[in-house]
Amino acid sequence: MIDTKKLAKEFNNLGEGAIVLIETAASKILEVHLAAVKWLSDKKYTQIILSTSRPCKNLLNLYQKNNIDTNKIVMVCSVCQEKEKKEQKNSKVIHLQSSSSLTEIAISLSKCMESMKDKKFVFIDSINTLLIHNEPNTLAKFIHSILTKMRTNNVSGLLISLEAETDKEVRAEIAQLCDKIMCDKIVKV
Amino acid sequence: MNFSMKKILPKKRMGTTLKTAPRQKRLAIKTKISPKQKKQRPPFQKRVSFAKSSKDTKKAQKAEEFVKTGIVGFDALLDQGIPLGTSVLVAGGTGTGKTIFCLQTLFNAAKKGEKCLYLSFEESEQRLKKHLDDFKWDWRDLEKKGLLKIVRKEPFSMTASIEAMLAKAKGELLIDINEVLEIIPKGFQPDLIAVDSITAIASAFGKKEDGYRIFIEQLFRYFETLTITSFLISETEQMPTIYSSSGIEEFLADGVIVFYAIKQGNIRENALEVLKLRGAKHQKKIVAMQITDMGIKVYPEQEVFGKIGE
């Protein structure tokens, strides 16, 4: 179990537009994900969630089971590669062809950031799954580009990665772009 | 004029001679224009004649001197647009969006009242029209109004005519290519033309590379003389370093737009760049592009993450 109260407290201390990297154990990553989305939902943030680990349908079911309001959630899903027109028309889910298509992901995230007027939060889950599909340097370039856009648009952000599993160089590059790095219980920086 | 062809049009990759030669000298290779064609005014001159004073003329001239593609995001790469009457090489690998780019540009221009001709040496008219339908671009009304024409030419039958034409010219190079090849349909005076593709023409020439080089030089000059803004499609590798069959087309063209399909993991991402465009300011970067249900969409601010070259 993760200390959700502590996590919420840490989130409460974040300023508008802050970007956070959470490093967690593989066994706790879903729990951290749900706790973060729950907190953001309670705070009435419009969440743009990049789902590269689980299919969007699965995540949306989990949100509902955990009493998370999904009305203000937009999923950018690169997992299920859904091609059905019905799904494409659903404005709450944007299906992408692959977790390798970083340019397409960047375009979709940018569109979401620019089109939504409410206070927004971009949630990237996870760095490690993106690393399965992309070269470390390419991914670092992508993260840099996205975080720059987030800062330009004053959008807050949350990135999840596995503790001690992430490529050291990429981890260092991404960490220096974030305002805060958290582990399950301890704030590292 | 007794130009030695080898001096003017050197063999493969010797296009640097052309590149470095003064433009005036290059233009010395004149295309013969028939009296009928002379009457076919350059479209820009016709338009500015409505201006009242010389000041107005200049103003109108400036506004009308550029062509907009109407493609979302693409025109933002250019300061004012594509200079009227220039020839643009549209280069890229298979499936990168060259044909769609040209169809979309011509369709958008035709909607604004420009006369456009799509000259295909590969796909049939029916297939190209189906492409237009797929994007829900209603070409029928434009065709009826005589604003958009799609014509298919057989490259191999054309080659014979070109060879005869060249034999007749014997180095004089005073050639009326339209008379021989009927590139532009009789009675049709296009403002914009797309040639799809010059690679198909080059293939039809086979090993007769000199013949192709002479022809392509003439073709560029011919469009230039008639002030037609032309888009010449060139098939290349997916990540090209040479943008045409003989390597000289990119020097002859006023502009080069390169389309890329960049391999990234198990997929390819589309991108494009304006490599050069004489007489126009443009952004010099490779930007993301998507082929959507509504045609090409360019993202001038979006970099691409795949590896481009070494």
Q: Which domains does chain B have, with CATH numbers?
A: 85-260 (3.40.50.300)
Cα-Cα-Cα-Cα dihedral sign, residues A159, A138, B262, B276? positive
pLDDT, block means (10 residues), chain A with 189 residues: 79 88 90 92 93 91 92 90 51 86 95 88 92 92 94 93 83 92 61
Cβ-proximal residues to B173 (8 Å cutoff; 6+ apart), any chain = B1, B3, B29, B30, B214, B218
Q: Which of B269, B291, B294, B305 to mutate to test the interface with A (most CBs of A within 10 A)?
A: B305
Q: Which residues of B touch A152 (CB under 8 A)?
A: none
Cβ-proximal residues to B92 (8 Å cutoff; 6+ apart), any chain = B98, B234, B235, B236, B240, B258, B259, B260, B261, B272
Q: Which residues of A touch B72 (CB under 8 A)?
A: none
Top pLDDT among B164 and B299 is at B299
DSSP sequence for B42-94:
-HHHHHHTT-SSHHHHHHHHHHHTEE----TTTGGGBSS-EETT-EEEEEE-T
User: Min CA distance, B237 vs chain A (Å)?
Assistant: 21
What pLDDT does B154 receive? 85
What pLDDT does B180 receive? 65
What pLDDT does B68 receive? 95
What pLDDT does B35 receive? 54
Q: Which residues of A touch B272 (CB under 8 A)?
A: none
What pLDDT does A16 receive? 86
Cross-chain residue pair B305–A138, CB shorter than 8 Å: yes
* Alpha-carbon torsion angle A174, A177, A183, A188, nearest 10: 120
User: Min CA distance, A145 vs chain B (Å)?
Assistant: 8
**Residue A107 at interface with chain B, using a CB cutoff of 8 Å:** yes
What pLDDT does B174 receive? 53
Per-residue pLDDT band for B94 (boundaries 50, 70, 90) equals very high
Cross-chain residue pair A98–B267, CB shorter than 8 Å: yes
Q: Which of B265, B303, B304 sits opposite A100 (nearest CB)?
A: B265
Is the pLDDT score of B22 beyond 50?
no
Beta bridge partners of B151: B119
Cross-chain residue pair B269–A101, CB shorter than 8 Å: yes
Amino acid present at A81: Q
What pLDDT does B229 receive? 96
∠ CA B305-B308-B310, nearest 5°, is 125
Q: Which residues of A touch B305 (CB under 8 A)?
A: 102-103, 106, 134, 138, 141-142, 145
What pLDDT does A82 receive? 65
pTM: predicted TM-score of the whole model, two decimal places: 0.81
Cross-chain residue pair A138–B267, CB shorter than 8 Å: no
CB atoms within 10 A of CB B34: 11
Residues B147, B141: Cα–Cα separation, whole Å = 9
Residues A173, A137: Cα–Cα separation, whole Å = 9
Top pLDDT among B100 and B307 is at B100
Q: Which of A89, A96, A99, A103 to mutate to test the interface with B (most CBs of B within 10 A)?
A: A103
Q: B130-133: which pairs have CB atoms within 8 A and are 24 or more residues apart? A: B131/B99, B131/B100, B131/B103, B132/B103, B132/B107
Is the pLDDT score of B242 beyond 60?
yes
Q: What is the bridge-based pairing of β-strands B116-120 and B148-152?
A: parallel
Residue of B nearest to A85 (CA): B293
Is the pLDDT score of B23 beyond 80?
no
Cross-chain residue pair B264–A145, CB shorter than 8 Å: no
**pLDDT average, residue stretch B179-204:** 87
User: Min CA distance, B223 vs chain A (Å)?
Assistant: 37
Residue of A nearest to B301 (CA): A107
Beta strand residue intervals within chain B, DSSP E: 66-67, 82-83, 87-92, 116-120, 148-152, 192-196, 229-235, 255-264, 267-277, 287-292, 295-299
The CATH H-level (homologous superfamily) assignment of domain A4-82+90-186 is: P-loop containing nucleotide triphosphate hydrolases (3.40.50.300)
Is the pLDDT score of B191 beyond 60?
yes
pLDDT in tens, B42-81: 443 333 333 345 555 554 555 568 999 999 999 999 999 9
User: Min CA distance, A41 vs chain B (Å)?
Assistant: 30
Residues B58, A138: Cα–Cα separation, whole Å = 49
User: Min CA distance, B261 vs chain A (Å)?
Assistant: 12
CB atoms within 10 A of CB B310: 4
Q: Which of B266, B267, B290 to mutate to test the interface with A (most CBs of A within 10 A)?
A: B267
Per-residue pLDDT band for B10 (boundaries 50, 70, 90) equals very low
∠ CA B113-B117-B121, nearest 5°, is 160
What pLDDT does B27 receive? 40
What pLDDT does B245 receive? 81
Helix (H) or strand (E) holding A19: strand A19-24
Cross-chain residue pair B267–A141, CB shorter than 8 Å: no
Is the pLDDT score of B24 beyond 80?
no
Is the pLDDT score of B3 beyond 50?
no
**pLDDT average, residue stretch B98-102:** 97
What pLDDT does B49 receive? 32
Of the listed ranges B29-33, B169-173, B239-243, the least confidently predicted one is: B29-33
Is the pLDDT score of B170 beyond 80?
no
Residues B158, B121: Cα–Cα separation, whole Å = 10
What pLDDT does A4 receive? 77
Is the pLDDT score of B143 beyond 70?
yes
Top pLDDT among A65 and B24 is at A65
Cross-chain residue pair B267–A99, CB shorter than 8 Å: no
